[in-house]
Amino acid sequence: MTVTTTTTRAELNGNASAGPFQCGFRVLTKNDLQVYVAGVEKDVDVHYTVANAGTTTNATVTFTSGNFPASGTANVVLVRNVPNTQTTNYQNNTALDAETLETSFDKGTMQIQQLSSGTDRALKFGDTVTGVTASVTDISTGATSRANKIL
């Protein structure tokens, strides 16, 4: 398998049906996907199921009966969330399975992509701003003194 897209999230329109809703990206396990409807996180196997997890095909989400998302614009959000762990243990002096090795590389690539997605969506200083250090970017004042001010 390869990781051929940098997509880690999808914003989709609910249509009061089960779906399926296309993620546009692969997931290694059904638990590597977070699903939100109208900003509320849903539970796998309770509110929805995931098809194609662990395959070369992009994952799809189908909602279970009674959990169909209401019609709306971008009210269904699918986010790949791979744990930042490495659980494959390669043994010395044994055959190295190419598929297992490639899955490990895919997981690492997915972890890097979700970190990149997180920083891309964060508030940050532009590259041309000078005088910014870690001490400047720490928010250490209380909410009252920050009220009605720009970050």
User: In a structure prediction context, what are the per-residue pLDDT tens digits for the chain, which is 151 residues long?
Assistant: 688 888 899 999 999 999 999 999 999 999 999 999 999 999 999 999 999 998 989 999 999 999 999 998 889 999 999 998 888 888 888 888 888 888 888 888 889 888 888 887 887 777 788 877 766 666 777 788 878 876 6
How far apart are the C-alpha atoms of 118 and 99, rounded to whole Å? Answer: 28
Burial label for 65, CB within 10 Å (0-12, 13-18, 19+), is: exposed
Give residue 123's pLDDT.
79
Sheet containing strand 60-63, strands side by side: 21-22, 60-63, 48-51
Q: Say what the pTM is.
A: 0.78
Give the other-Cβ count within 10 Å of 38's Cβ: 11
Q: Strand, helix or coil at 146? A: helix
Amino acid identity, residue 61?
V
How far apart are the C-alpha atoms of 96 and 75, rounded to whole Å? Answer: 44
**The two structure tokens encoding residue 144:** 């009252």
